[in-house]
Chains A and B, each alone.
Chain A
Amino acid sequence: MRPPDAQTFFADSRKTVTDRELRAKLEATVGRHLEQVAIVAGDFAGYEAEKVAARQVKEQAISRLPELLEQFKHNLEAKGARVFFAADAPEARNYVVELARSKGVKLTVKGKSMATEEIELSHALEQAGIEVVETDLGEYIVQLRGERPSHIITPAIHLSKEDIGRLFQQKLSIPYTDVPEELTAVARQRLREKFLAADMGVVGANFAIAETGSIVLVENEGNGRLTTALPEVVVVVMGIEKVIPRAVDLSHFMEVLGRTATGQKLTAYVNFINGVRRAGELDGPRELHVVVLDNGRSQMLADPVLREALYCLRCGACLNVCPVFRRIGGHAYGTTYPGPIGSIISPSLVHDGQAGHLPFASTLCGACKDICPVKIDIPRILLHLRWLATEGGIAVKWPPAQERVRAGARRAAQLFAHPALVRALSRIASVLLRPVARDGYLSWLPPPFDAWTQSRDFPLFGARSRTASANGVGSSGARDKALESATPNSGLASRAPSAKAAHQGQR
Chain B
Amino acid sequence: MSDFAAALSAMRVALQQAASSLNDHSAIRPESAPAPQISAPACEELTTQFARELEALGGKALVADSTREAFDAVVELARTLGFKLVAVGDSATINLKPLGEALSHNGVALLNTARVAEDDRRQVRARLAECDAGIVEADYAVASSGTLVFVPTPARPRSLSLVPPTNVTFLRVERILPDLAALMSTLESSVVADNPIAFVTGPSRTADIEKRLVKGVHGPKALYVILVSSTDG
Residues of A within 8 A of B (CB): 25, 28-29, 32-33, 46, 49-50, 52-54, 56-57, 59-60, 62-63, 65-66, 69-70, 73, 75, 79, 83-85, 87, 135-138, 141, 154-157, 160-161, 164, 180-181, 183-185, 187-188, 191-192, 195-196, 209, 211-214, 220-223, 225-226, 228-230, 240, 246-252, 254-255, 262, 264-274, 278-284, 292, 294, 298-299, 301-305, 307
Q: Is B92 an interface residue (CB 8 A)?
A: no
Q: Is B62 an interface residue (CB 8 A)?
A: no
Is A304 in contact with B205, judged by CB distance below 8 angstroms?
A: no
Shortest CB–CB separation between residue A342 and chain B, in angstroms? 20
In the bound complex, residues from chain B placing their C-beta under 8 Å from that of A294 are 7
User: Considering only CB atoms, which chain B residue lies closest to A63 in the complex?
Assistant: B26
Shortest CB–CB separation between residue B181 and chain A, in angstroms? 4
Give the CA-CA distance A343 to B69 in the complex, in Å. Answer: 58
Is B29 in contact with A60, judged by CB distance below 8 angstroms?
A: yes
Given A156-B209, A220-B205, A282–B217 Cβ distance below 8 Å? no
Binding site of B, secondary structure by majority: helix, strand, loop or mixed? loop
**18 more A-B residue pairs beyond the given contacts A252-B33, A284-B158, with a C-beta to C-beta distance below 8 A:** A52-B33, A66-B9, A154-B207, A161-B209, A180-B209, A180-B214, A185-B216, A188-B217, A220-B206, A221-B206, A222-B218, A222-B219, A223-B218, A265-B145, A266-B147, A272-B196, A284-B157, A292-B4
Binds A, one of B10-18, B40-48, B78-86: B10-18
Is B204 in contact with A269, judged by CB distance below 8 angstroms?
A: yes
Is A304 in contact with B154, judged by CB distance below 8 angstroms?
A: no
Is B199 in contact with A269, judged by CB distance below 8 angstroms?
A: yes
In the bound complex, residues from chain A placing their C-beta under 8 Å from that of B12 are 66
In the bound complex, residues from chain B placing their C-beta under 8 Å from that of A226 are 162-163, 218-219
Which of A155, A264, A279 is the one whose CB lies under 8 Å from B154? Answer: A279
In the bound complex, residues from chain A placing their C-beta under 8 Å from that of B17 are 302
Shortest CB–CB separation between residue A76 and chain B, in angstroms? 9
Give the CA-CA distance A53 to B18 in the complex, in Å. Answer: 22
- 13 CB-based A-B contacts, threshold 8 Å: A28-B211, A57-B33, A59-B25, A63-B29, A141-B208, A225-B219, A249-B33, A254-B180, A266-B145, A282-B116, A283-B158, A284-B157, A304-B24
Is B219 in contact with A282, judged by CB distance below 8 angstroms?
A: no
Q: Is B77 an interface residue (CB 8 A)?
A: no
Which of A32, A155, A280, A298 is the one whose CB lies under 8 Å from B116? Answer: A280
Is B194 in contact with A274, judged by CB distance below 8 angstroms?
A: yes
Is A180 in contact with B212, judged by CB distance below 8 angstroms?
A: yes
Is B147 in contact with A161, judged by CB distance below 8 angstroms?
A: no
Is B208 in contact with A266, judged by CB distance below 8 angstroms?
A: no
Is B34 in contact with A85, judged by CB distance below 8 angstroms?
A: no
In the bound complex, residues from chain B placing their C-beta under 8 Å from that of A195 are 218
Is B34 in contact with A53, judged by CB distance below 8 angstroms?
A: yes
In the bound complex, residues from chain B placing their C-beta under 8 Å from that of A62 are 26
Q: How many residues of B contact A (CB 8 A)?
A: 88
User: Considering only CB atoms, which chain B residue lies closest to A224 in the complex?
Assistant: B218
Binds A, one of B95-103, B168-176, B182-190, B225-233: B182-190
Is A191 in contact with B218, judged by CB distance below 8 angstroms?
A: yes
Is B209 in contact with A270, judged by CB distance below 8 angstroms?
A: no
User: Considering only CB atoms, which chain A residue lies closest to B87 in the complex?
Assistant: A282
Which of B142, B163, B206 is the one whose CB lies under 8 Å from A137? Answer: B206
Is A56 in contact with B33, judged by CB distance below 8 angstroms?
A: yes
Is A298 in contact with B207, judged by CB distance below 8 angstroms?
A: no
In the bound complex, residues from chain B placing their C-beta under 8 Å from that of A181 are 214
Shortest CB–CB separation between residue A270 and chain B, in angstroms? 4
User: Considering only CB atoms, which chain B residue lies closest to A246 in the complex?
Assistant: B189
In the bound complex, residues from chain B placing their C-beta under 8 Å from that of A56 are 29-30, 33
Shortest CB–CB separation between residue B219 and chain A, in angstroms? 2
User: Considering only CB atoms, which chain A residue lies closest to B151 in the complex?
Assistant: A272
Closest 10 CB pairs of A and B: A222-B219, A138-B208, A302-B14, A212-B193, A280-B154, A282-B157, A221-B217, A270-B199, A222-B204, A53-B33
Is B115 in contact with A268, judged by CB distance below 8 angstroms?
A: no
Give the CA-CA distance A138 to B11 in the complex, in Å. Answer: 35
Give the CA-CA distance A294 to B201 in the complex, in Å. Answer: 33
Give the CA-CA distance A228 to B198 in the complex, in Å. Answer: 12
In the bound complex, residues from chain B placing their C-beta under 8 Å from that of A274 are 192-197
Give the CA-CA distance A424 to B144 in the complex, in Å. Answer: 65
User: Considering only CB atoms, which chain A residue lies closest to B27 in the complex?
Assistant: A63
Given A85-B7, A298-B7, A283–B193 Cβ distance below 8 Å? no
**Which of A137, A191, A283 has the most chain B CB atoms closer than 10 A to its own CB?**
A283
Is A184 in contact with B217, judged by CB distance below 8 angstroms?
A: yes
User: Considering only CB atoms, which chain B residue lies closest to A59 in the complex?
Assistant: B26
Is B201 in contact with A267, judged by CB distance below 8 angstroms?
A: yes
Give the CA-CA distance A272 to B184 in the complex, in Å. Answer: 13
